[in-house]
Each structure stands twice: as C-alpha cells, then as structure tokens.
Structure 1
Amino acid sequence: MRARFISESKPYSIFIICAFFSAVILLTGCSNEEEQGDVITSQELNAEDLAPFVEPEFPFITTSLDARELGNSFPEENVAPRCLAIQLGSEAYSCFDTDMLRWSAAWTGDFIAMVNMAQISYHDFHNKDNEIPTIEGDPKIATGLYPGWMAGTHQFSDPRSSSTDSENSAWGPLPSEIGSWNGVHVEGEDVVLDYTIGGTDILELPGSVQSNDETAFLRTFEVGASNESLSLAAAEVTNAQNSEVTDSTAWIHQEENMVTAVGMVSEAPGISIEVIDDRYVTVQVSAEAASENTTFSLILWKGEQAERDIFTQLMNEAQSQSLEVPEISDGGSSYWTQTVRTKAQLAPDTAAYAVDQLTLPLPNPWDRNVRVVDVAFFSDGRAAVVTFEGDVWIVEGIGQEEEILEWNRYASGLYEPQSIEIVQDTIYTFGKEGIVRFNDKNNDGNADYYENFSSLMEQSMETREWASDMVVSPDGSFYVSKFGALDMGPETATTVRQELAGFRVGSQYAGSISKISSDGQEIDHYATGFRGPYLGMHPEKGILSASDQQGHSMPSTPIMLVDEGDYYGVPATAHRDPVPQETTPPLTWIPHSVDRSGAGQVWIDSDKMGSLNEQMIHLSYGRPGLFKVLIDSIDGEAAQGAVSVIPGYYPAPTQKGDINPVDGQLYVGGFSLWGSNSEEISALIRLRDTGENSLLPERFGVYESGILIRFGEELDEETVANIANYQVKRWNYQRTEKYGSGHYKLDGSPGEEMLPVFSAHLSGDQQGVFLAVPDMQEVMQMEVSYNFKTENDSTIEDKLWFTVNQVRPADFSAEGFPEVNTEELLSEKYRQVDGQQEEIPVTVERGKELFQETGCIACHSVDGTAEGKVGPTVQGLFNSERMLKDSTTVVADADYIKESILEPNEKVAEGYEAEMPSFLGVLSDQEIEAIILYIESLSD
C-alpha cells in the first residue's frame, strides 16, 4: 500500500540498507528449505553478523517511550510505558499508547533510540546500560496523558487513580467503561489497531502520505454503532498563538511561525473538527452519526505557516488514495516463509540424565538474534519458544529419530517477553505489554492477530519492573509475576523518585504475583513482598511455586510454595498498609554460592523421567543448572524442602522450561545477560532420562534426633556407617535493607555452626541413611555433605541443602530403621568427632579454589575483561587506585579487599551497583586471606 523503509537511528542507516538488500538476495536465492544450505549442527552467534533490532519488513515493535521533551509546542506530561512504535513508510512513525488508546507521538526522520534492555544488549550481549527510549527524529504530533477517545464530552486529564503513591504517576489501562485495547492485526506492511471505546468497536489504520519530500500522517477509522457521541483527541499544541477551523481542517498557529493542521480527508456527515482552548484538536462524532457504522480519515501535519499550501498538496494526495481499513477476517500475508534446519547435539548416556542441546537457528535468513527465554509444547510435540528480542518461533522434529529440527518464525514485535504458555494449542506470551494471545487466521504459519488477552497488570516506566513469569493453573486461570521496580538503570518517568531500600515506586503489581481470570478480565493480588519472582505450577494439582532473587530484603535464594495472601518479606513490594509483621517462610533457602539467581520451576508430570517423575525441578540462572527439590511433609502439609544438584553440562542459564507431552522429557531455555557461569549466550536444552541408575536423593526428613536421606539404590553399609564421610553445618540469614546476607550462628554471631554426626545408620532395605545429629533446631539453612558407595560400588559424593521450619520425633520403625535405639542414638558413646572445621592452608592455590567455589568468578573476571560480569575485574586490582561511586578514591589494598568481601555495600566502585552479598560468616579469616593472596597474584 505504501513504500516502506526505516532509518532506525543514524549509526545504523547504512547497516539497514545492507540488511535490506541482503534480505532481497536471500529471498530470491532461497525459495525452499532444500536450497537454504546444510543443516546447522552448531550454533554461531556473531554480533557483526546480526541485522538491526528493528526489521524493515515488519511494521511495529512494542516498547516504552519517553516523549516529555519534544519541544515547546508539545505536552510536557507524555510517557507511554507500553506502546506500539509503528513504521508508517517513508521514515514516518507513530507511537500508539495501548493503555490510553492515543497517539502519544508521531514523527519523521530517524526512529526511536534502541536503548531498552533487549535492544541495547541485542548486539552487545552483556551490555546492561539500558535507558528509556526517546524519539530520534523530528516530532510533529503529540497528545498528553489523557484518553485518546472518549464517549460524550472529552476530559483532558488522566482518569486512572494513582496506584502506589498519591504523588506518583498512574499506570495501567484505562477504566474499562472508558475504553479497552483489543489487539493489533498485522496486514502486510500495515497494522490495524483494534480497540473499544465505551461499547463501541473501533478499527484504525495508521499511515502516512508524501508529496515533494513532505510527510503527513493518516488515520483511517471504522467506527461501530454507538448510542452516544464520541470524541477523538487528535493533537495537542501547548504554545498556540491562535487557532481556526476552515474547510474541515483545524489550524493551530504557534511560535516560531509553525502551524499544526488536522483535517478530514473527505466530508463525513455528523463528524466535525473542533479546537478546544486553542490547544486540543478534537474530532467530534455526533450522536446521530455514531448511531450507525461510519468510516472517516484524518490527515495530520506540522510545518511552517508560510507553507500551508504544502498541506493542500498532501491533502490532495491523500484524497487520491483509496483509504479504507483492510479486511481483517482472512489474515494477512506471511512475513517469514523460510525454514531453518538444525540438528540436535546429543550428550552421551553416561549418567542417569543427559543434557542434550537443541541447536538454535543461528545463523538464519533474517540475521536475527535468538536468545531463548522460555519454551512450551503443543499437544502433538511441536514446541513454541519465545526470545528476549520479542520473537516467537515454532519448532518441529523434536524427539524424532534423526533429531533434525525445523525452526519457523511465527510472531515478532513483543516487549521483552519472558514467558510462553500453550493452552488448548493456542500460544500465549507474557511481556511488558501484558498477556498476548496469538491468532493465525489463515493458517499460513504466521500470527495475524496479536490479541490483548489481558493488560490489567500495570506496567510502570521503571525499566527493571520486568514481566518475569506466567503459568497456567488446571482451572484455566493465569498467574503472572513482576519484578519489583529495582533501583537500577536510568532515571525514569516516575514523578517522585522514592528510595525504598533498593527499589523505586513502580506499579501496584511490582514485586508481586497476580491471578488473572480464565477470560483475562479480572486481576487480583495473590501474593506480595517479592524482589524478583519466577514461578512454577503443578499441572494437575494446581500447586503454585516460586523463587526469588537475592538482594535488598531478600537474604538468599528461596523456593516457596505460594498460597493466596502470602507475604514474603520485601516491604517495598508489600502493597499493603500496614506492612505485615509476619513473613511467610519459604520451603527452603539455597546458599548464594550454590544458586545466587533462581528462576522458574517445573513439575514433572511425566512417567518417563525415572526418579524425577512427580518431582519439582528448580532452575537456576546464575549457576546455571537444575535442582531436584525434595519436600518434607508433616501432617499432610509441606513443612520444608531440600535441593540437590542434577549433574550435567548446562551451556547457558536455565530460566524456564516445560515437559514435552510426546516424549515426556524436560526442555529448558535461557540466555545470558547478567552474571552467570555459562559459556554460551543462549541455549535450548533437553534433560533426558537415559535409563541409567540415578544417584540423586529421593526423600529427606528432619527429626529431633537427626536427618533422614533416602535413595533409589541399595547402599554399601560399611561406607554409610563411617561417620567421617559426612559433614553437617547450619546457619541463619539476616533480612535487612542491605544486599543479601552473611551467615550467622543461632546466637546471632557471624559464622556457621559445624554439627557432629554421632552415628550413621542404614535402613533395612539398604536405601535409607539416618544421621544422628544433636541439637536439631529450626534454622534457615543446613548443608549435609556425604560420600559413600552403593552396593554396586558406585560412588555417591554430593551435598544436600535444606531449611528446617519444623522438627518432629522420628518413628524409626515406620521409616525402616527397626534396629535403631532411640535412647542411645545421641548418647556420649557415639561421639567420635568434635564437629570443628579443620584449618585451611593460606595459599594462592586455595584462594583460587575459593574464588571459584563461592561464585566470585561469575561476577568478577580474572583476565581484565568485563563482558558478562556485573562487577569489576580483579586482574590488576591489588594496590591499584579505585574510583568509587561517591566520587572518592581508595587504594585497593588487603584491608580494602577484606572490607569489600565482608561489607560490599560500603565502598562501591564507580560504574557498578551495590549488587554483591556479604560473605560475613561465610568465609573465615584464613579463607579471606587466601583469596586476597590470589587477587594479589593477578597483579604480578
């Protein structure tokens, strides 16, 4: 319909031209998959080979936009936390605010700055210096923070109530009685906006028209029948000198000899243009005209007053075109017709569970980055994956004999999505725009209608208020989680920047879990007080689980079983007055060195995963890797849990996953941006049951006299009974406004308590071990290390981490230990160890081991690089002069390094955030001394 080209921003202009012609060559030279070349057997991700984030052929991206500083003639209060940035052809663009149903802005020239987190890290994979997108080009038209349409008389104020702070901005969609966003239809190079005002359905086709290098904007409407008049706010000019309406065109004259014009492309009975207060250009649809379906088109332009005749030329050009909203019922043309074929990389069957890598479609015909976040499955075993850049891919061939995967692009333009679900073979995603339901009306393999299933969960302008997760319960309702508005990244459009111990004031859903009704029309707070929750859902029982991110008010990584009304301890996201005094305890805590960044959970509802059947699996971003979660139930209630690492090679962070209903195996996606031990930027993996015997624990229990651990294999009695094969320790955390927590003994002093194992006992079936441990008490964290053999001479050397929320008496007969004498279990005759930790050598080698074991290596490089790290490199650190965040300097001597380990928030290096937990009570003085020696060796 219109010539389409984009200038994303000045540095990319030549790049886009090259990408455009490359696409032409690919499309003409690759007509089917056989002509695309060989199957990709190993993924290759090179930044220099990627096309720009914004694709010339696709008409929109969803983003936020800060349009507060467009110039003197534009409204000052103009932010859009979620909007469609639409390409209108010939370097013309508009931003449609899907919350307020308005054109926030329209402009020409360059596009918006590619600076949000997904965009800025698209080529520079570990760049976290995100900003709020702003207009790069020449602004022409804008409206302020009020509804774009209203039934009856227009009100030029925000009808939404402030959700979190009386002085703070309001967020979220308009009240439903005013209007609602339905979704966007993609029709070739065009989009059709679909929304409702009052009870009136409206379809809008945005566009542009050109004449003699001048551009005007077009808005064509199909308006359904209404029982009252309607009003459209088309433009706002804040410094008008005067205004007039002539020949169905409004003219607002302003300073610097400029004029804004809004006109009817053709006469329409009962529809008129008005200027209110020499400021607001409106289109009035009379009650008579609104009583039946009607169509009309607007043309909008800004230019010099002396060149008003240019507007006449643009009007004539618009009138010469056939302006009508495309037919949307049959679907649009396909954007992506090519298939990318990859071959899965299978791991050897040398353990109970193998980690296969499903090779990503890199490279691909569109030179598109592919950073997988989540995966979901259709009933026939096909997969849908969603990427951080906002794409949805459909994958076929998973689990077939040759493992040749066929990747097909399905949708694009989403706003930093992190979740995907498939319900009755229909795809849903959750990103900052809300929950989107996809429709492929013509069954050509490309989504035609991006339906707004629900956007009730408010989204603020805070860049770290992630839309982190979504799960579906068996009753059809959805649970979504959002990060708290973390005090990181750029200054935002929040009216009042309120410090809340690591947080800013975001929306009322920041740092919470919300329940969305099965029709998407209702939302309720379900649980609050989180920092950055990720979710899991038992697909049959409806059990909701979650993890959270260590940080301010969150001392370590927890796993929770969540009930309605729970509060998990972060005051800034309590969303209650007063803040609850009691905090719901988690199922279990996980130490920072084991999992410093938890992600989602998956319940294995398959009977094809061996010892993992019917178990919860916890996914770790930071480790990365998978944990088996054991639950110790007391009186039918889940009292406490434990985690055990599922061994394997995990090439990228593990964030979200799903069970394939055909092969019954677990598939997991993830990508690297923040600190992680991963080697690759992204991966889609399969945890596959090989049939080999599993050495993972299958059950644990906490009792007054000790700890029970059960396995699926018969164990060797001699090695089980040797108490030298065990180490037990415990500690508490402190929940404070500081980032994370050190380790504290039960008396509150820093450190960890070593507990003696008086005796170790093998159960009658030789699959259970009971450790007699004195003084069992409620405690936030326990760690049991064990090393023994099975009856088949396999070695089990592992650790179990768990929380003790409740201690109960042991029924040894029922547990399979009939020979254990309860009275003598903890008597002095069994005492053979003193429980004291042996001294460690203070050497460079030991310091290097500790640097890796405690996870320091994930955040601080030792080779001078900064890529993928959230902290400064330690190479050359020792005795160097360091600039701090408060603009003072310090010498990084041994005292400074020790202070940074124990009190990391006291002196934060310039350019970094206070994101390091304290190792107070975690590391002994000797261990800290060894780490300092290692850091000193890196400066030689």
Structure 2
Amino acid sequence: MMKGIRKIIWSLGFSFVFLCGCQRSNQDTYWDYEIDFGDDQSQGIMRLKKSNDTTQLSLVSFDEGTFILENLEIDGAELSGDFSLYGKEASLEGSFEKNNFSGNVKIEDELFPFTATKQSSELVLIDRSQIKYILSEDDLAELESNIDHTGLIANADREGYERGERIYSSNCINCHGNEEVEGSIPLSTKFWEQELKAGSDAYSMYQTISRGFATMPPQPILTPKEKYDVISYIRQKYLKEKEGEAFITSTPGYLAGLPKGTSRGPETKPYQPWADMNYGNFFINTYELVDEKTGIERFHSPRPVPYPDEDYLKNNFAYKGIAVRLDEGDGGISKGRAWMIFDHDLMRVAGGWTGKGFIDWNGILLDDKHETYPRTIGKLHFETPVGPGWANPKTGSFEDPRFRARDGRAFGPLPKSWANYKGLYHHDDAVVISYSVGNANVLEKFDLEYHGKDTVFIRTLDISPSTSMLKMRVAPIDLKVAIIGQGGSLSNEDGFVMLNVEKKKPANVKLYIADADVDDFANLATSKVTPEKLQKYITETGSRHYPEILKSTITKGPDKGAFAVDLLTPPFDNPWASRMKLSGIDFMKDANKALACTTDGDIWLITGLTDDSNELTWQRIGSGLFQPLGIKVLNDEIYVICRDQLVVLRDFNGDNETDFYESFNHDHQVTDHFHEFAMGLQADNEGNLYYAKSGRHAREALVPQHGTLLKVSKDGSKTEIIAKGFRAANGVCINPDGSFLVTDQQGFWNPMNRINWVDGKGKFYGNMWGYDPPKDSTRVAMEEPMVWLDMEFDRSPSELLWVDSEQWGPLNGSLLSFSYGFGKIQLVLNEKVKGQMQGGVIDLPGIKFLTGVMRGRFNPDDGQLYACGMSAWGTNQMLRGGGLYRIRYTGKPLTTPIDLKTTTSGITLKFDSKLDPTNAMDIKNYIVKTWDLKRSSKYGSDRYNKQVLAISQVELQEGGKSVKLFLKDIKPVDVMSISYDISSINDMSLKGTLQSTIHNLREDNSL
C-alpha cells in the first residue's frame, strides 16, 4: 500500500512543510536516514537546525524531495512530529541513542521502520596544493573570494539536483557523455567508471569547474549555485554508488574545513525556456482570450474517464489563433506588452490585450503541462465572439455553418466560398494576413498607438472589389471605434460596430479601437493620414529577420560495431533561445542541405551534411508556427505540417528566409485539447500528402478528424479521412505498395503500443473513444495491428521508415521503427500470412540517442540515415531537448536476425552470418515466452496467459544462416518474445531478444 502511495506523491512533486517545534540542541546536526517500506526504501539526510528559540527537522532526499516536520516535539531522547501524506495522517516517532536514531513512520495503522545515523563532525581536510588548475585564484572574479561554500553544499536538495541534471544535459554531456552515449572528447572523464584526478568531493569539483583542470576548461558562465547544482547531480548520479569510489560525503566535519564566506553569488535565472524564447513577432497556437481580473475561471472536467465534456460555449477560444505583437522592442512576441489575435478559422480578430506578460504558457509543448491550453494574461480591451468575423457574402448572415460537435461548439474553417485563409506575409516587423471573403481578396495588418496612457488598437485593411456588399464585426458597441480611408463605413448592428464595404469598389481603411473612456477619440482618428497600402509588403523586399548564421561541429561516433552514430549537435546556444526540439527532417535536391522543424515553431536550414567539412551551418528561416511535427520537401518546395494547417514556405528574395507562410491546406479541425497533434508528413508519387491526427487523451472524440490518417490532395483543395480509431498516432510511413504504416500508443482502449499496417480506406483501428466508433467493442470490429509492442520493449514508437540505400548492405529494403520512448531504432521483420500482416521487432545494436527519436530520412547522396529527435511528452531519453543524428552502417556483420518466418511447426530466424552449429543448435540458448493482452476501456493491459514454450528441436537451415526453433505449442498470440544467446562461426556474439505478434500460422510444407 505504502509503495503505491509514495509513487503517486513523488510523481506529482508534492512537498510537505512542517512548522518548528521545541529546541533540542545549540547546533545543527545532520543524520543519514532510511525508511524501510518493505520492497522500497527511502534514503536521505535528516537535518536538525536551530533558529532562534525553535528547532526545525527536515528530511532531504535527492530522489523524492524535502519534507519538514510539523508539530515537532523533542523531550530528552524522544522525538515526534506529524505530517500529512496524500491526504492521510502520518507521524514520525522515535528516540536518540548516542549517534543513532530509530523509530517508525506511521501512516494510518501501518508502521514503517525509520533509522538514522549521525554524520561525523571530525574535521576532514583535503590537500589540493598539488593540483595544477588552469586559472589561479587571482584570475577568478572577485565574488568567488567570498562564497559561502558551506551553506551551498549543506543545502543541496532535490530541486538543485534537477537543475543540475538540466545543466549537465545542456553543458556537459557533449564532452563527457553518459553510460549509454559516448562523449565527443575521449579525454573527458567518464564519471561512472573513471577517477576524478582533481578530486571528487564537492569543493574540489567546484574548483575544477571554476578554474579548469587538464582538458577541462573553466566554466565562468555558471553561477556558484549552478556549479554546485551540477556537482550534486554528478555525485549522486554517477559517483555515490560507483564501485571502488572513495565517496566523500559532505559531513559537518567536511564542511568545517571549507573556506568561509557570506555570499552565495548572483541569483540563478528561473527555468522558463518557453517564455524566454524569441518566437518572432507572431506565434500561432490555440488561445483562450480572457481578462486577468474579470475572465471566466479555468475549468477542466474531473475524472472518471472518459472526462465529461466541459461547457465552453461562453469561452472565447481562437483555435487557430495568430497572435501578433503590436508594440516595438526586442525579444519577439513573448517580450511584448500589447497583442491582437486573428482567428484564421473564422477570419475574425478575436481580441486585443495588454499586460506585462504574453500568455500563461500552459500547454504540453510550452511549459509541459497536460490537460490545458494557453490563456492570455493582462487586460483584455476588446473581443469578438466565436463565430464568423465576416457575414456570409451571399446572404449577409453571421450564422455559423460549420461542423457542430456534441458539446455545442463549432469547429473547423468556414466554407471556402464564404472566407478562405491564404497565408501570412512577414515583412520586417510587419505581419500581414492574407485571406478572401467571397471573391474579394483582403490584406490586413495590425498596429498600435498610444493616446496619453490609453491604448488604441489599429486594423488596416486592403480589400479588392467584391460582387456583393461585405460586412465585418469590429467590436462591441460599448467600445470606441473610428474609421479613416476609402470604400468603407461604420454602423451599429446587433450589439456590434460593423464595417460595411461597398459593392464593386476597393476599400482601403484604417480602424481604431479603444476603451470607452478614452478622451478625444474622434479627434484622434480624424487627425490621421490616409491608410497605408498593404500591397507594398508583398511586392517589396524586406530585411532578414534572423541574419545570424550559426555553426556546429559533427562529432563522429566510433565504428565499433555494425552501426556508428554521429552527433550533429544543434546550436542550443542561439540568439533566440530556441529550444531546438527537432520534430521533422527532409533534404533538398542538393542533399548537402536539409530542412528541420521544431515543436516550438521554428524551421531551420542545415548545410554541410555531406561535404566532409565536419562543420554544419544552421540558418533559422521561419518561426511562429503551430507545433510543427513533420516536414516534406517536394521539388525544393518546403511543406510543414502544423496543428492548424499544412504550410508551404515561400522565399521571394532569395535569402532563404520565409517571406510568405502560404496556407496550402487548413481543413484541420482544431479543438482546445492538448493531445491532438498533427503528426508526420509524407507524399506519394502523385504528390498527395499524408499525416496523422491524434485523438483526445482520456476523452471521447469531438470531431471526425480525431484519431485519423488524413490525405491532402496534391493541389491542397481537399482533405479526406483514410483510416480512423487511432489514439496517438505519431507519424506515417507509405509502403512500397501504396498502403501505410501508422504507430499508436498504449492507453485507454489500447492495451499496448501498436504498429498498424493500414490497407484500404475507412477501417477502424481500435480506439472506442474515437469519432463514430463501431457498436461492437470487441476485437472483431477492429483491425489487428501488425505488431503489438510491449511497453518494456518500446515505451513509445514514433514513425517507421523503409531502408532505401545500398550503403546499408543487407538491410536495404528492410523496415525500421523509431523509438521516441527509449531513443533507439528497431528492425521490423514483417511477413504476410493468410492475408494478414504480422511480424516482430528487434533493437538495432549499438544505437542509443540522447533524445527520443521522431523522424528519419535516408540521404540520397551519402546513403546514410539522418534522424532527429526531442524530449517533450513521455520519453525515457530526457538528456537533451533535441538532437540530430547520422547513423552509418559500417559494413561490419550484423548481430541481429534480418528475417522472421512463422509456421505451424515453429519460428525461423535468419541472420546475416553463418552460425556456430555447436551453440546455435543448443536448445538451452533460447527462451521463448508468450502472453496475451486484454483490450478494454482501461489504460493498457496486464500480461495474461503467460507461458514459456518448450523447444523440441533446433535446426540450422539456409547454409547455416538460419535457425529454426521447433515449438510444439505454437499458436496465434498477441506477444511472443524470443531470447537467444549464440554466436557466428567467427565467434561473434549474437545475443538479443526479438518480440513478435502471431495472427496466423503458415503451413509448414517441409514436414
């Protein structure tokens, strides 16, 4: 019971705060403690600290956090204190005996042993006089002479450990690496296996970081606190349990030997990379517009699952919101003070606001929060309702004709005959939005003026002649609105100020919108000059937004095995603080160049992939897009799949930067739900494009596109659903025969991760919370996956890719699966039996990445695989925010099977090398296990009907390269794992585990 409770608490990041009790001693004491929860132990430091007339007892754990006791009582040798654990009353009681403490933690009626040993106060002195640092003490900044090393080390905690992990992943890992990925500099210390020659205690490591030693340069960019944070991480992660390491703990005796000081250095900057990034002057996302003081309170439906639909009919969501910064200044939209949002589903300005912050940054790909979306913060000066911004040009009505979901909300774009979003021009600091209303073309630009202390929002519109009169909602009638220019006039109608545009005449107008209490507003507007013509932003050349060209090096991996992994490290240290979470890659015709997108909306041009220079250049050519998760280059035109649209990047002046973000297709039905990513982008031979759209996590679908494979016609004019019933489909692969492969993730109605072979149209792939599911919830009504992927084998599969490269030798023509969850690549051995695709997966040896892997492409010039990845939602590989890798086949023998055959008599595995008959035919060198899964509305599935299959015989076939395992009890099963430990005739170890799914058994005609 306790273990389950603790896991919930730790995962939620709770901390427990307890007030002080009675005084026990006149000095602080430190104790190493352990709580025995049976099959789980908690370890840390118990700190007894005196402050004035009170004493505070805290339990500090690097694994779980800091806990401070409440109602602390110390009576002689007896100690007690109370606390609350996940809503349950708990207490610590025990007694001191010399240098030991023993007692129990009581949670309700259960007792768990608690023991602690007092840390030594014996003075520990370390001689560092013979260490030859790069810098002398005189070379250091003045602040270093007065640092409170004792306090910084003594107060190490879980929060600092986590900061240290981030610092290590961004500053240290490239050179030092970790246990899975080798560092780029061979002489850099491998902390988990090598001795630290300048000392491994905390203060010695601080001196090494500050002053440099041997090949380790000084790190002046880190504050003292940050240095001790990363030291804490290295010591706890790599040194504490290292065999043979003389681990020097930071006891009171050790701390007493350190230099004394009173300063802890400058404050460390808060970790908020989502708000620090310069996204440019526009940023597309789903936003809710609210006034910070008077807005609707946030509300999310509580459990049980599926979560009920919220009543959001009164909420002002811009589901495809283009937020534009209006005030001048550096830092892009996140550093602005005034903004407007254009909703390109509805061609409306959703509202305008001012404040000291842009948004609250809530969102899975912003501040990592689930089940939420970003909201505006500050003062909302005006807004328009969720509905068409322009009246129907044929009828004059504002009635919303779009798809209406069961919760009453309408989603998706207006009919193209009514209004059609064309794209966005980015010219210097100006953002010009292009769309049509009926047969009139509209260009619109936003600006801002100040009238004393008052804010005046400005909309400038260029409108071509229309065959009908046009009408647009500007703002509620209780605001002040004025107009200058030609071809338009204002009127009041249905509670709104309306812009009316004359029939068959062009219009060039400027609208002023301000609060009702702004003085002299009429004079303000009439004193203005003629509105500017917006066409100039299309025809004239603007300056570059991102003139800096960044460089990085290629770190070649060792050619020890069949595969070598080269690190093509992105420029994390860039002028825009872009997080470089790479989510898609493709090559230009000149394959020395590639395009990559990031989840934060950037597009990067990368040069230097194949020219043997070992140096890459990175040019930021686009920004501000809505969660790009796939990119495709067709005839050197760059297509990017975003959550709100499929964009083509247009460069008009030859500087590579995007001048026009053309909306190639925006049929996307976007809701507020955090989980509905648009994943991957592929093109068939005719030029049609494909992507997958995820469903709503823990919720039933609202729109037909939730959980689907989608096809966009080659001219971008229409979208059709190819398959449905997916939960979280991370990417698409087009098979040589024109069918598809789509992965899916374990969850509700998904007992395990899936690799789906999608053939034909309209089929259902299992998620009963998808849109319009079949009435039959059994497996009979769904398409079975090609492979069920156990969570222990791959936590989260992303996209698949066919090998199309002679450079990959025996694997040319094979199928690969990228693992986002575990940062690896798997070989997919597939077969078709009785019309059903099935197969197995096995890890490619020697490949492990710093991030989860999202997408990959084979370079047509060098024939090698280039893969990109990131760390965002659930992955085990969180060492870097993003990564780019080149995976080279070295030509050395493969150690994995390259083919799999399933028959009524057993399993045949084919290898690339001849097998040693002695151990290959030894039954003891194989283990075959099977189990089934149960599909239900529950999240995932346990393993059912677990068996170990008896192997009756092993036979070598195909000239000694194949081994057949004869299995008497073989039958169709959800999951089979085959572990083997054999060798080739050249004494090369062949060891691994293959996991497969069997739907049908091929008749064995050889028997």
TM-score grouping bracket, smaller chain normalisation:
0.7 to 0.9
Deviation at 1:396, TM superposition (A): 0.3
Alignment of 1:449-460 (within 5 A): 449-460=660-671
Q: 1:273 aligns with which of 467, 481, 490?
A: 490
- Determine whether 1:225 maps to 2:225: no
2:484 and 2:530 in contact (8 A); partners too: no
One-letter identity of the residue aligned with 2:718: E
Q: Secondary structure at the match of 2:382?
A: strand
Alignment of 1:118-517 (within 5 A): 120-121=366-367, 127-128=368-369, 131-150=372-391, 151-162=393-404, 164-165=405-406, 167-236=407-476, 252-253=477-478, 260-266=479-485, 268-269=486-487, 271-277=488-494, 279-287=495-503, 291-304=504-517, 307-309=518-520, 311-316=521-526, 318-319=528-529, 322=532, 324-381=534-591, 382-486=593-697, 502-517=698-713
One-letter identity of the residue aligned with 2:729: P
One-letter identity of the residue aligned with 1:59: N
Q: Secondary structure at the match of 1:765?
A: helix
Alignment of 1:505-904 (within 5 A): 505-538=701-734, 541-563=737-759, 564-576=761-773, 578=775, 582-634=781-833, 637=835, 639-647=837-845, 648-678=847-877, 679-745=879-945, 752-812=946-1006, 822=1007
Matched with 1:101 is 347
- Determine whether 1:82 maps to 2:320: yes
1:468 and 1:532 in contact (8 A); partners too: no
Deviation at 1:539, TM superposition (A): 7.0
Deviation at 1:691, TM superposition (A): 1.4
Matched with 1:32 is none
Cα separation, 1, equivalents of 2:327 and 2:737? 51
CA pair 578-175 structure 1, distance change in 2 beyond 3 A: farther
Q: Secondary structure at the match of 2:372?
A: coil
**What's the Cα RMSD here?**
2.5
Q: 2:281 aligns with which of 59, 78, 87?
A: 59
1:472 and 1:537 in contact (8 A); partners too: no
One-letter identity of the residue aligned with 2:766: G
Deviation at 1:730, TM superposition (A): 0.8
CA pair 701-504 structure 1, distance change in 2 beyond 3 A: same
One-letter identity of the residue aligned with 2:672: M
One-letter identity of the residue aligned with 1:60: F
1:209 and 1:318 in contact (8 A); partners too: no
Q: Secondary structure at the match of 1:303?
A: coil
Q: Secondary structure at the match of 2:445?
A: strand
Deviation at 1:196, TM superposition (A): 1.0
One-letter identity of the residue aligned with 1:190: A
Cα separation, 1, equivalents of 2:490 and 2:771? 47
Cα separation, 2, equivalents of 1:120 and 1:225? 42
One-letter identity of the residue aligned with 2:442: I
One-letter identity of the residue aligned with 1:507: V
Deviation at 1:585, TM superposition (A): 0.8
Cα separation, 1, equivalents of 2:867 and 2:534? 45
Cα separation, 2, equivalents of 1:380 and 1:156? 49
One-letter identity of the residue aligned with 2:840: A
Alpha-carbon displacement from aligned partner over 1:736-774 (angstroms, at most 9, x marks no partner)? 1111101111xxxxxx11101111111141111111111
One-letter identity of the residue aligned with 2:830: I
Alpha-carbon displacement from aligned partner over 1:799-828 (angstroms, at most 9, x marks no partner)? 11111111121244xxxxxxxxx3xxxxxx
Q: Secondary structure at the match of 1:697?
A: coil
CA pair 415-327 structure 1, distance change in 2 beyond 3 A: closer
Cα separation, 2, equivalents of 1:774 and 1:57? 61
CA pair 72-793 structure 1, distance change in 2 beyond 3 A: closer
2:364 and 2:873 in contact (8 A); partners too: no
Q: Which has the higher contact order (CA 8 A, sep 6+)?
A: 1
Alpha-carbon displacement from aligned partner over 1:60-114 (angstroms, at most 9, x marks no partner)? 0011111266788999442111110001125331000010000000122334324
Cα separation, 2, equivalents of 1:347 and 1:515? 39
Matched with 1:497 is none
Cα separation, 2, equivalents of 1:170 and 1:620? 36
Q: Secondary structure at the match of 1:312?
A: helix
Alpha-carbon displacement from aligned partner over 1:760-806 (angstroms, at most 9, x marks no partner)? 11114111111111122111111111111111110101111111111
Deviation at 1:427, TM superposition (A): 1.3
1:555 and 1:733 in contact (8 A); partners too: yes
CA pair 426-363 structure 1, distance change in 2 beyond 3 A: same
One-letter identity of the residue aligned with 2:608: G
Q: What 5-or-longer segments of structure 2 have no aligned partner?
A: 1-173, 176-182, 185-220, 227-268, 297-312, 329-336
Question: Which moves more between the two structures, 719-728 or 43-52?
Answer: 43-52
1:66 and 1:79 in contact (8 A); partners too: yes
One-letter identity of the residue aligned with 2:345: D
Cα separation, 2, equivalents of 1:788 and 1:778? 26
CA pair 147-652 structure 1, distance change in 2 beyond 3 A: same
Matched with 1:863 is none
1:556 and 1:596 in contact (8 A); partners too: no
1:469 and 1:482 in contact (8 A); partners too: no
CA pair 596-367 structure 1, distance change in 2 beyond 3 A: closer
TM-score of the superposition, structure 2-length normalised? Answer: 0.68
Q: Secondary structure at the match of 1:758?
A: strand
Q: Secondary structure at the match of 2:920?
A: helix
Q: Secondary structure at the match of 1:112?
A: coil
1:209 and 1:317 in contact (8 A); partners too: no
Cα separation, 2, equivalents of 1:223 and 1:632? 59
Matched with 2:266 is none
One-letter identity of the residue aligned with 2:602: D
Q: What 5-or-longer segments of structure 1 have no aligned partner?
A: 1-39, 122-126, 237-251, 254-259, 487-501, 746-751, 813-821, 823-940
Cα separation, 1, equivalents of 2:279 and 2:1003? 68
Cα separation, 1, equivalents of 2:960 and 2:348? 70
TM-score of the superposition, structure 1-length normalised? Answer: 0.73
Cα separation, 2, equivalents of 1:157 and 1:225? 24
Q: Secondary structure at the match of 2:781?
A: coil
Alpha-carbon displacement from aligned partner over 1:363-390 (angstroms, at most 9, x marks no partner)? 1233322111221111211111111111
Aligned residues: 715
Alpha-carbon displacement from aligned partner over 1:19-65 (angstroms, at most 9, x marks no partner)? xxxxxxxxxxxxxxxxxxxxx98999998698764766822001111
CA pair 56-128 structure 1, distance change in 2 beyond 3 A: closer
Cα separation, 2, equivalents of 1:54 and 1:284? 41
One-letter identity of the residue aligned with 2:616: L
Cα separation, 2, equivalents of 1:153 and 1:276? 16
Alpha-carbon displacement from aligned partner over 1:209-263 (angstroms, at most 9, x marks no partner)? 2232322122111112221111111112xxxxxxxxxxxxxxx44xxxxxx1111
CA pair 421-390 structure 1, distance change in 2 beyond 3 A: same
Cα separation, 2, equivalents of 1:64 and 1:58? 17
Cα separation, 2, equivalents of 1:442 and 1:349? 43
CA pair 154-72 structure 1, distance change in 2 beyond 3 A: farther
Cα separation, 2, equivalents of 1:557 and 1:302? 53
Percent of aligned positions with the same letter in both sequences?
27
